[in-house]
A and B are shown apart, each in its own frame.
Chain A
């Protein structure tokens, strides 16, 4: 039992050592949690997206997240730990349902507009049988020669 505990500890230390580099290239897991935490360096970005190199908040924060994940803490536990240390202002909520619904609602609204547009501008369907060119329009009859003449000059 004791040996197991020891080896577990060694494993944890090794994981923590690996996590040293986490700030340089945050893994997807770190980014996921980091996106929920507001960077405190003065930018308005999250810990995951703060673009400041050598940032004095986001860099250690990312390392801390990685260490906490290495010892198996859940996302919520990590976030709670940060909120405990830096106050509730550090938490960034994920987009709520509103954020999702509006774009889709807009798309469906657009579909509705198209449907209305088509209904309004759809030409009433007459006899669809086209057949050979027959002149049923007095105006067309009047200008037919002119059109034929111009058409022959096309190309």
Chain B
């Protein structure tokens, strides 16, 4: 069993190496047989890796405690979901899972393009397989998942394992890593296509069209993964935060920021053939940031809540990234002539410029986060000074940047492509501008004095209005022209250009999230030791301790408080914050009691028992507007899904007819 698993992973490594070599040599020497053989090796990598992953998962589910990985990350009492999730709970398993995801993506790429892009596909697959070879080397020699527990050279199983870290035993957390990994791994595909088409000097922007959906899907996975992580932190960690600027959180944000920049700047290339160098740089940067993210999570170079796994794989990652970045940089510089811009800027006041600033802001924030993540490490290596950056440092730096980004979100789409005259600007800015100023005025009048909050809510109003106006004007025009009702016109409008209107929806989601972030300025908290019958007050809520219970299950023991909540004398029911102590891992967790409403959350955490073990320490928080963050996330996901729907375009532009071309090219469904 274990030998079969090791063999499968080893075979996968050989196949991946062969696939990379065969594809690239086959393409250089123009040997179609070698190319096809290399392609088949890609399928074999996937098949053998699937076998390996299958064996590990089987071991986790059946509780085969001869495997050291199973013994460390699983135990008998865990529910099935978490037994499977233990696959990505530890270093060896998660790296194997990474490899398997990459193999899966590669197979999909190889299969869907088996008859297309024959010119550069071998290079694309070659790049993917080089990355695959690197990860499989890790799987085989650095972080082998099939090590056995042995005593005096004899394989000796333990009776029960340590179990998954109880902090991770939470549904959102079970799917948070795969989502992030799907996002991390996915950017390898656009990168590989970009490199393939760069090497072969493909005319046009074929790689962008081919990878458009890949990039969007990957971005969607990343966004979802990041927000699942935030939701997990909010609901599980017990201090009510959703983002702590933890190095590993930062690691997931970095490729998201540069990926977002790429999604925007790629439009410049599609519409006008500009920024070609920049787009290749961005897609490469995003890919390497994904690798860096994996590295930060898995090397333990910067410690944090997430670095459950610590080992010496760091130098391999650093070498791989250094070589990869150098090779990419060389390739780009060598082919600068091929990446020449096709057109020019007509005017400084235009959509193009707004994209430039959008890219600047996204990359500046990306750099700031990267700097904050690595600065303590750099500082310790260079000067020996130990330094710590707290959340305040990030907040002071990132809040203004975030607000400026929010502003651009609203302003960008109001500029027209190529040139925008003052007259056009006035038409678009007037009413949203006045309305958001009015909102700020009203907020000041009711007594809000927090400057950032005022700016943020003003911008939110502005962006939301511009998006709504966009939908309203478009739908009204279509409704009038085609004599349909407004709702149908709205669908028709969106369907005609799903990318644009889906994009607006994503912007709307971002606005809702910023409203939620703004609520942070108005948080309230209280802490009190309470015995049965005691009461406390937080915000407008009165809390009264009804009972404190204790109990025990095979997996954990618990203390639970039953707290009656009332507001202005009216009862709002009970909340049950709970504290658990997991026996296998000897770790405690919080099950917070939350009353969620659109305007604010009441959040109760059972902090622990007091020193005399009589009273419960209750931490009570009021978090205004937090729900808007989760709503915004849903809107963002919905918007991205809309972007993925093919636009309904009845466009019959004439395709150039060539000898022997199939007629399917005549009509192009976009």
The answer on direct contact between A and B (beta carbons under 8 Å) is yes
Q: Which A residues contact B (CB, under 8 angstroms)?
A: 20-21, 24-25, 31-32, 35-36, 38, 43-46, 48-49, 51, 53-54, 89, 91-96, 98-99, 102-103, 106-107, 110-111, 113-114, 117-118, 121-123, 150, 153-155
Query: Nearest Cβ in chain B — how far from A5, in angstroms?
Result: 28
- Answer yes or no: B47 CB below 8 A from chain A CBs: no
In the complex, which of the residues B244, B357, B371, B654 contacts A114, with contact meaning CB atoms closer than 8 Å?
A: B357
- Answer yes or no: B522 CB below 8 A from chain A CBs: no
If the complex has contacts A45-B303, A121-B344, are A25 and B360 also in contact, measured as CB distance less than 8 A? Answer: no
Which residues does chain A contribute within 8 Å of B356, judged by CB atoms? 114, 117-118
Query: Nearest Cβ in chain B — how far from A70, in angstroms?
Result: 15
- Answer yes or no: B652 CB below 8 A from chain A CBs: yes
Q: Establish whether residues B353 and A118, one from each chain, have CB atoms under 8 Å apart when the complex forms.
A: yes
Q: Establish whether residues B303 and A25, one from each chain, have CB atoms under 8 Å apart when the complex forms.
A: no
Q: Establish whether residues A111 and B388, one from each chain, have CB atoms under 8 Å apart when the complex forms.
A: no
Q: Establish whether residues B527 and A35, one from each chain, have CB atoms under 8 Å apart when the complex forms.
A: no
Tell me the complex Cα distance, A98–B654, Å: 58
Q: Establish whether residues B651 and A122, one from each chain, have CB atoms under 8 Å apart when the complex forms.
A: no
In the complex, which of the residues B344, B389, B588, B608 contacts A99, with contact meaning CB atoms closer than 8 Å?
A: B389
In the complex, which of the residues B357, B387, B608 contacts A95, with contact meaning CB atoms closer than 8 Å?
A: B387
Q: Mark B358-388, 1 if CB is under 8 A from A, else 0.
A: 0010011001100110010001000001111
Tell me the complex Cα distance, A124–B363, Å: 29
Which residues does chain A contribute within 8 Å of B302, judged by CB atoms? 44
Q: Establish whether residues B344 and A122, one from each chain, have CB atoms under 8 Å apart when the complex forms.
A: yes
Q: Establish whether residues B386 and A38, one from each chain, have CB atoms under 8 Å apart when the complex forms.
A: yes
> For window 289-326 of chain B, which residues contact chain A by CB distance below 8 Å?
302-305
Query: Nearest Cβ in chain B — how far from A86, in angstroms?
Result: 13
Query: Nearest Cβ in chain A — how far from B423, in angstroms?
Result: 13
Q: Establish whether residues B588 and A53, one from each chain, have CB atoms under 8 Å apart when the complex forms.
A: yes
Tell me the complex Cα distance, A46–B346, Å: 52
Q: Mark B338-365, 1 if CB is under 8 A from A, else 0.
A: 0001001110100001001100100110
- Answer yes or no: B390 CB below 8 A from chain A CBs: yes
Q: Establish whether residues A93 and B387, one from each chain, have CB atoms under 8 Å apart when the complex forms.
A: yes
Q: Which residue of B lies closest to A155 (CB)?
A: B650
Show 24 residue pairs from A and B whose CB-CB distance is below 8 angstroms, ordered by the A residue: A20-B611, A24-B617, A24-B619, A35-B388, A43-B303, A45-B303, A46-B390, A54-B588, A92-B388, A93-B386, A93-B387, A93-B388, A95-B389, A99-B375, A106-B367, A106-B371, A107-B360, A110-B360, A113-B360, A118-B348, A118-B356, A123-B345, A153-B653, A155-B650
- Answer yes or no: B607 CB below 8 A from chain A CBs: yes
Which residues does chain A contribute within 8 Å of B58, judged by CB atoms? none
In the complex, which of the residues B385, B525, B529, B651 contacts A154, with contact meaning CB atoms closer than 8 Å?
A: B651
Considering only CB atoms and an 8 Å cut-off, how many residues of chain B contact the other chain?
48
Q: Establish whether residues B345 and A102, one from each chain, have CB atoms under 8 Å apart when the complex forms.
A: no
Question: Can you name 6 extra interface pairs (CB under 8 A) apart from A96-B387, A99-B389, A106-B368?
Answer: A24-B607, A49-B304, A93-B386, A99-B375, A103-B367, A118-B345
Tell me the complex Cα distance, A66–B390, Å: 19
Q: Establish whether residues B388 and A46, one from each chain, have CB atoms under 8 Å apart when the complex forms.
A: yes
- Answer yes or no: B239 CB below 8 A from chain A CBs: yes
Q: Which residue of B lies closest to A22 (CB)?
A: B527
If the complex has contacts A51-B304, A121-B341, A121-B345, are A94 and B387 also in contact, measured as CB distance less than 8 A? Answer: yes
Query: Nearest Cβ in chain A — how far from B132, in angstroms?
Result: 31
If the complex has contacts A21-B529, A25-B527, A54-B588, are A35 and B619 also in contact, measured as CB distance less than 8 A? Answer: no
Tell me the complex Cα distance, A155–B651, Å: 7
- Answer yes or no: B111 CB below 8 A from chain A CBs: no
Tell me the complex Cα distance, A153–B650, Å: 9
Tell me the complex Cα distance, A38–B380, Å: 13
Query: Nearest Cβ in chain A — how far from B488, in angstroms?
Result: 17
Tell me the complex Cα distance, A103–B374, Å: 12
Which residues does chain A contribute within 8 Å of B385, judged by CB atoms? 93, 96
Which residues does chain B contribute within 8 Å of A32, judged by CB atoms? 390
Q: Establish whether residues B390 and A31, one from each chain, have CB atoms under 8 Å apart when the complex forms.
A: yes
- Answer yes or no: B395 CB below 8 A from chain A CBs: no
Which residues does chain A contribute within 8 Å of B305, judged by CB atoms? 51
Q: Establish whether residues A121 and B360, one from each chain, have CB atoms under 8 Å apart when the complex forms.
A: no
Tell me the complex Cα distance, A92–B390, Å: 11
Q: Establish whether residues B360 and A114, one from each chain, have CB atoms under 8 Å apart when the complex forms.
A: yes
Q: Which residue of A lies closest to B237 (CB)?
A: A51
Query: Nearest Cβ in chain A — how far from B137, in angstroms?
Result: 27
Which residues does chain A contribute within 8 Å of B156, judged by CB atoms? none
Which residues does chain B contribute within 8 Å of A49, judged by CB atoms? 244, 304, 388, 390
Q: Which residue of B lies closest to A91 (CB)?
A: B386
If the complex has contacts A25-B239, A36-B388, are A102 and B371 also in contact, measured as CB distance less than 8 A? Answer: yes
Which residues does chain B contribute within 8 Å of A38, judged by CB atoms? 386, 388
Tell me the complex Cα distance, A118–B346, Å: 10
Tell me the complex Cα distance, A45–B527, Å: 25
In the complex, which of the residues A53, A92, A154 contacts B387, with contact meaning CB atoms closer than 8 Å?
A: A92
Which residues does chain B contribute within 8 Å of A103, judged by CB atoms? 364, 367-368, 371-372, 397
Q: Establish whether residues A25 and B607, one from each chain, have CB atoms under 8 Å apart when the complex forms.
A: yes
Q: Establish whether residues B387 and A24, one from each chain, have CB atoms under 8 Å apart when the complex forms.
A: no
- Answer yes or no: B452 CB below 8 A from chain A CBs: no
Q: Which residue of B lies closest to A153 (CB)?
A: B652
Query: Nearest Cβ in chain A — how far from B660, in angstroms?
Result: 24
Q: Establish whether residues A24 and B360, one from each chain, have CB atoms under 8 Å apart when the complex forms.
A: no
Tell me the complex Cα distance, A45–B357, Å: 36
Which residues does chain B contribute within 8 Å of A25, judged by CB atoms? 239, 525, 527, 607, 619
- Answer yes or no: B113 CB below 8 A from chain A CBs: no
Query: Nearest Cβ in chain B — how far from A91, in angstroms?
Result: 7
Which residues does chain B contribute within 8 Å of A31, judged by CB atoms? 390
Which residues does chain B contribute within 8 Å of A44, judged by CB atoms? 302-303
Q: Which residue of A lies closest to B380 (CB)?
A: A44
Q: Which residue of A lies closest to B653 (CB)?
A: A150
Tell me the complex Cα distance, A110–B368, Å: 13
Q: Which residue of B lies closest to A47 (CB)?
A: B388
- Answer yes or no: B393 CB below 8 A from chain A CBs: yes
Query: Nearest Cβ in chain A — how far from B654, in angstroms?
Result: 7
Tell me the complex Cα distance, A25–B528, Å: 10
- Answer yes or no: B150 CB below 8 A from chain A CBs: no
- Answer yes or no: B37 CB below 8 A from chain A CBs: no
> For window 597-636 of chain B, which residues contact chain A by CB distance below 8 Å?
607-608, 610-611, 617, 619
Q: Which 5 A-B pairs have the closest CB atoms?
A: A44-B303, A24-B607, A103-B368, A92-B388, A123-B344
